[in-house]
Structure 1
Amino acid sequence: MCFYDQYIFACGDWKWGNFRQHCQKEYRQGETCGMKLVNGALGVDGKCKMCEKIDTKLRRKKAEEDRVARWKAEGGKYRASIEKSEAAIRALNYEIHTLETERRQRSSMVGSTR
């Protein structure tokens, strides 16, 4: 039961920070017992890496959708490009869904601050 900092992001996610204090169980110098307890919680203004990845993919998806809408409005001369962009949109939807599922699973784990 060694003590660590805990960083809490604006999105509600968290991560372990730096080691702060040994517990009474571990007698060897420089070793930890393996159990982590919160020494102090520190707020972080930004989003976690997972949320940043999701936001990036959502922006890419929006750009592709705008591009497809523009090409469709101009007529049917960009058919191959439209198909390629629609395939990219489907791939981005799958990646976004995977990341959101992973984020939900992480937030439901034991030790979550939500």
Structure 2
Amino acid sequence: MCYFDHQLWRCGYWRWGNFREQCPKEYRTGETCGLKLIYNTYLEPGVCKTCETVSKKQRRMSKMMEDVDRWTCEGNRRATIEKTQQEIGVLQVQIGELCRDHEVRKNACSY
């Protein structure tokens, strides 16, 4: 039962922070017993790194979709449209994985 800081973002994502206090069960200096307890929770005002990454990928995907629509109206850019649509598919998969990982971490018990 060693104590650690706990960081919590607005979106619900959390992570363990720095080691703060050693419990009486562990007698070796610098070692922890393996059981983590919260010493102090720090509320972070912004969004987590995962949310920032998802937001960037969504903006990029939105721009690509606008480009595809524009190129479709212009015509004679079939290869560019196909390549961009493949990249959009890859981005959708990446966004899905990031959102799934974010939800798993958000719903995991931190204490």
How far did residue 79 of structure 1 move? 1.0
Task: Please report the TM-score for the alignment, with normalisation by the length of structure 2.
Answer: 0.92
Match in the other structure for 1:53: 53
Match in the other structure for 1:24: 24
Alpha carbons 2:4, 2:21 under 8 Å: kept: yes
Deviation digits for residues 52-108 of structure 1 (CA, Å, limit 9, x no counterpart): 22111111101101111111222x211111111111111111111111111122223
Deviation digits for residues 29-59 of structure 1 (CA, Å, limit 9, x no counterpart): 1111111100111011222121122111111
- Which 5+ residue runs of structure 1 have no aligned equivalent? none
Inter-partner Cα distance in structure 2 for 1:80 and 1:104 = 36
- Which 5+ residue runs of structure 2 have no aligned equivalent? none
Name the SS for the 1:99 alignment partner: helix
The structure 1 segments of at least 4 consecutive aligned residues displaced by more than 6 Å after TM superposition are none
Match in the other structure for 1:107: 106
Alpha carbons 2:26, 2:32 under 8 Å: kept: yes
How far did residue 111 of structure 1 move? 2.4
Task: Please report the TM-score for the alignment, with normalisation by the length of structure 1.
Answer: 0.90
Aligned length: 111
* RMSD, aligned α-carbons: 1.3
